[in-house]
Chains A and B, each alone.
Chain A
Amino acid sequence: MDDEKKNILTVSEYAEQLRKRSQPVSEHEPGLLARVPIIEKILNFCRANSLWPLTFGLSCCALEMMAAGMARFDIARYGAEVFRPSPRQADLMIVAGTVNKKMADTVVMLYEQMLAPKWVIALGNCAISGGPFAGEDNYFVVEGVDRLIPVDVYVPGCPPRPEGLIEGILLLQEKITGTRHPFPQTKHS
């Protein structure tokens, strides 16, 4: 029994393999205009206020993501409502849910195929650390999507409420521009 167990590639080893395989092969320098500080600032402002997320719900947190897109929570107020079905058009990946071993390669592939600049939000405990599935007997759940791809913002919760996702997006905007989103509806007293 123990010998059998040894032969199975553990999830963390598998994730490590995937991450090694997806290392960048080449890098492009930023364009000439993009190096000018003021233009970079303007570009970052535009990027932060028009984040296009990838339609990518892995499990139950995706329902909260959908709720955040609907009228009551209305993520459109922060410019992030255009959920795109193709990674070529998206610049924000919201990993909403459990990343299984079977899905891990697809997650990495979609991340690779997204156009730069790209950001990742890990939504929910499963995407952050494996959540309730993390444990010694776990053979199929990647314990945290940051084992596969770099994550910018972690939104904890099981699942997090839509306000949590909105706060995550505001934090991401803060990370991109360096300042909090200046429009009045985001000023929390």
Chain B
Amino acid sequence: MAELGLKRLTKVYTQAQPPAVDQLDLAINDGEFVALLGPSGCGKSTTLRMVAGLESVTNGEIRVGGKLVNHVHPKDRGVGLAFENYALYPPLKVRENLAFNLKAHGVNGKEIAKRVKEIARTLRIEELLDLKPAVLSSGQKQRVNMARAMVRRPAVLLLDEPLSHLDARLRVELRTEIKRLHAEQRFTTVIVTHDQLEAMALADRIAVMNEGKLQQFDTPLEVFNHPANEFVAGFLGEPPMNIFRAVVDSGQLIIPDTQFSLPLSTFLENRLGPRKEVKLGIRPWGIRISATEAEGSFVGKIAVVENLGDETRVGVRYGEILLMSSIPVTKRYQPGQQVYLSFNDEDLNLFDVSNGARLSDRENERDSDRWENRDVAHLR
């Protein structure tokens, strides 16, 4: 096991196009689990393939355990890669599939048997060892696939969308297993995924990427609660954060086409500075809905009610904006009903209109993790 360092890592396929990966800096600690998260085409898979040695590096450095590996042969880098598609050898039994790379590396038979047994126990595939890949379920194949990457005891384990081909039930199960496995084994692990829940659930830190560039690299809760920019804010969270444009007018922050106008509190002023225009973001569970008016609340009409069992979502329409909120399931509303919306300033995210960057009150924000203190009991 080792740390993995990427320094100004860049990949250019053709000069005609922007870099697939653009000066990516990541310092991943020994034993850490990091998720590369982003939409398709964001450069996350290219990054992983460069680390694995399957893709040449245009510029920058890859270091495994401090050692520069840019030009080291893939099999000598000490990285183990488990692909999305399994690429197991069909004629070989699971046991032989696991042993294959060890044999190629000249590990002796006794040691191979021992390691295969160990990894099979860890990944709970002991009963599969004498079967051929064709008879395995996709969940079993995925575990064998991971076992094959891990049996070599790589310094860094690389997982490329390992769960995306599985059905929902198996995905949740295997996600738990991977998380547990990491808690036990503490392999330095990098997972590539487009699924924000998977990244949140598994990773110690998440590197959010878009258009080849790193957007934010931080713990899941920090990325979730203090997104560095509008892209990150919109990419994480289900249902997605409500984001809309607002303008400053005579001491108020006004959202055009709605009845919303907020007095400029210290919270807002500290972040707005001299700006006259801003993007406002609020997560669905930051919005409270009531049938009765209260001070500072805004009137609206319910357009959509979604009763989802453990969760109720209510949509209020203002022109083009459908403002979604997540409310306690014990409250029942009807479409067409007039309601009053309210929220705390502290739950608002402000983003610069020109570049989408988060406007923060840096001195206070990071230290005071409001999330720890707020009441989210209804979200059980």
Note whether A and B form a binding pair.
no
Interface residues of B (CB under 8 A from A): none
Interface residues of A (CB under 8 A from B): none
